[in-house]
Chain A
Amino acid sequence: GAVVSQHPSWVICKSGTSVKIECRSLDFQATTMFWYRQFPKQSLMLMATSNEGSKATYEQGVEKDKFLINHASLTLSTLTVTSAHPEDSSFYICSARAPSGGDNEQFFGPGTRLTVL
């Protein structure tokens, strides 16, 4: 199957700093990428849908000014958590939709564990 990578795999930062997470589709071009957040023992919550070359579509309750998403190329999307606070500590996972997937199959990155002190 298609491979999606994320970097970094984990990050610890101080409150008030910004953190950038990269999501790359390694062997296919992804016109659409998704960003999710997962708190312990909870399901993945879709944060935003990112289409290459256009603005991301944020889900209700997700602050677009706090979670900046850039999808500048067909293989890279970035999520920047600005002015991070301890409540932003979570597992952030991206996924990319394979263009040939008639079932709209998504391939997930390994996730980034963010801890804000």
Chain B
Amino acid sequence: RKEVEQDPGPFNVPEGATVAFNCTYSNSASQSFFWYRQDCRKEPKLLMSVYSSGNEDGRFTAQLNRASQYISLLIRDSKLSDSATYLCVVNLPRAGYQKVTFGTGTKLQVIP
């Protein structure tokens, strides 16, 4: 089983739609979780951290379910500019450092 798994998509949604991505992780000792956004041929940029209590930033809502070992990202009122690949990131503590694992990403295409 992969350490971090995402549905690769692509998700093709019309403008204004609501879309949700899930990401599962295999190691229950994982401590911190993030969603990053990566545009084509660019570096990833942090979208938001994911907290146990859930967190919201404008149109974006992230949630963590430790029992089921998955995190989710909800995007409301999709914009054309939201088209990108969304990467789930999981940090696992190791002796002296943290192992950072990226999911393969979910591609979102927002259609006019």
Give the number of residues in A that approach B within 8 Å (Cβ atoms).
24
| B42 interfacial contact with A, CB 8 Å | yes
**Is A67 on the interface with B (CB-CB < 8 A)?**
no
Within 8 Å CB of B102, what residues of A? 36, 43-46
In chain A, what residue has the closest Cβ to B94?
A: A57
Interface of B is mostly: strand
The CA of A49 and the CA of B41, in the complex, are separated in Å by 23
With A42-B104, A43-B104 in contact, do A110 and B43 touch (Cβ < 8 Å)?
Answer: yes
Stretch at the interface among A14-22, A69-77, A82-90, A98-106: A98-106
Segment at the interface with A among B44-52, B63-71, B74-82? B44-52
8 Å CB contacts to A: which residues of B69-112? Answer: 87, 91, 94, 96-105
Say yes or no: B100 contacts A105, CB within 8 Å.
Answer: no
Contact B46 A57 (CB under 8 A): no
Chain A residues 39 to 86 lying within 8 A of chain B, measured CB to CB, are 42-46, 49, 51, 57, 59
Query: Is B32 part of the contact surface with A, judged by Cβ < 8 Å?
Result: yes
| B94 / chain A contacts, CB cutoff of 8 Å | 57
Provided the pairs A32-B97, A103-B49, A105-B49 are in contact, do residues A44 and B42 lie with their beta carbons within 8 angstroms?
Answer: no
B97 touches A43 (CB 8 A): no
Task: Give Cα A111 to B32, complex, Å.
Answer: 24
- Which A residues lie within 8 Å of B96 (CB)? 51, 57
Minimal Cβ-Cβ distance residue in A for B33: A103
Q: Which residue of A lies closest to B104 (CB)?
A: A43
User: Which one of A42, A49, A57, A110 contacts B42 once the chains associate, using CB atoms below 8 Å?
Assistant: A110
* A interface with B by C-beta (< 8 Å): 1, 32, 34, 36, 42-46, 49, 51, 57, 59, 91, 93, 103-111
What is B's interface to A at a CB cutoff of 8 Å?
Answer: 32, 34, 41-46, 49, 87, 91, 94, 96-105
Not counting A59-B99, A105-B49, a sample of 7 additional A-B residue pairs whose C-beta atoms are within 8 angstroms of each other reads A1-B46, A36-B102, A43-B103, A46-B102, A57-B97, A103-B49, A104-B98
